[in-house]
Amino acid sequence: MSRLFTSVLLIIHSSLCLAQSNERTVTFVVGDWEPYTSSQNNPEYKMAEDLVTAAYATQGYTVDIKYHPWSRAYRYAEIGKFDGTFPWFKNKQRTSIFEFSEPLFTQKVVFFYHSKSYFDWQNMSDLNNFRIGATQAYEVTRLMASNGVKLEIANEDQSNFIKLAKHRLDAYPAAIERGYYMMGTLLTATQIGQIRVHPKAIIEKDMFVMFSKHNPNRNQKLKRALKLGIQELFESGEYQKIISVDSQISLPEKPVQQVQR
């Protein structure tokens, strides 16, 4: 009887420990969007992952990240298979489905353009004077299309940067960090030297963690822990180190020129 009682206690203790461990593990699902998220092992490609993981670590949580195509990641987070997904822009449709964190960082989307294009723009109508590339389902693609901009749409960033390097496009909008990453991995040094970055942003918006609404009490705890964690990273100076472009991305030896106007 004593042995049986001891065995039962051990089982209960193990179950409690497992439950506590699961409670302190945050599960996320993301896609590949280097240098923010990546299924590759290269730490330079995981800026957003590093930020979220470090923030939760300050609050005693561990983070478990799984990788799927973005459409599937969105769906898995929506149905509550994971605690959430990141990084995403906030819009009306998403706020009706997900609980949003405090901002992780600000995303600045600018035009990368070929030096032979003499590209410039101030208003959306100016863009119709150029061959503008776009990627299917991107926020910036929807923005330009809704403003009547004629677009050459591809399924991925890679195709657009290759076309830009060959001057088959005049310009292509991308997040600054994403653009540098794509050039560094796809283009030759000569091609990189022909690319310019326009200083005017077409989008400058915050990006967030989207939490599943299936467990409201847990969501609120995770939101608060992330907020407190990011505050600690700010105060310690670690936040800026994590999101620094120079520390995360291998830039070309000769920096891409930003034209000042």
Q: Give tens-digit pLDDT for 55-67.
A: 999 999 999 999 9
Q: What is the pLDDT of residue 149?
A: 99
3-state secondary structure string, the chain?
CHHHHHHHHHHHHHHHHHHHHHHCEEEEEECCECCCECCCCCHHHCHHHHHHHHHHHCCCCEEEEEECCHHHHHHHHHCCCCCEEEEECCCHHHHHHEEECCCCEEEEEEEEEEHHHCCCCCCHHHHHHCCEEEECCCHHHHHHHHCCCCEEEECCHHHHHHHHHCCCCCEEEEEHHHHHHHHHHHCCHHHHCCEEEEEEEEEEEEEEEEEECCCHHHHHHHHHHHHHHHHHHHHHCHHHHHHCHHHHCCCCCCCCEECCC
**pLDDT for the residue numbered 245:** 59
Output the pLDDT for position 16. Answer: 43
Pick from 197, 175, 171: nearest CA to 252 = 197
List pLDDT tens digits, range 70-87. Answer: 999 999 999 999 999 999
pLDDT tens-digit map of 116-127: 999 999 999 999
Delineate the domains of the chain, giving CATH numbers in brackets: 26-106+205-248 (3.40.190.10), 107-204 (3.40.190.10)
Confidence check: pLDDT of 187 > 50: yes
For 226, residues 6+ apart whose C-beta sits below 8 A from its C-beta are 52, 55, 56, 59, 101, 102, 209
What's the whole-number average pLDDT of the chain? 89
% of the chain surpassing 90 pLDDT: 82
Instruction: Give me the mean pLDDT over the 45-55 stretch.
Output: 97
Per-residue model confidence as pLDDT tens digits over 189-232:
999 999 999 999 999 999 999 999 999 999 999 999 999 999 99
Report the C-alpha gap between 115 and 259 in whole angstroms: 10
Q: At 22, is the pLDDT very low, low, confident or very high (cuts 50, 70, 90)? A: confident
Alpha-carbon gap, residue 80 to 84, rounded angstroms: 8
pLDDT at 101: 98
129: its two tokens: 């004077």
Return the amino acid letter for 175: A
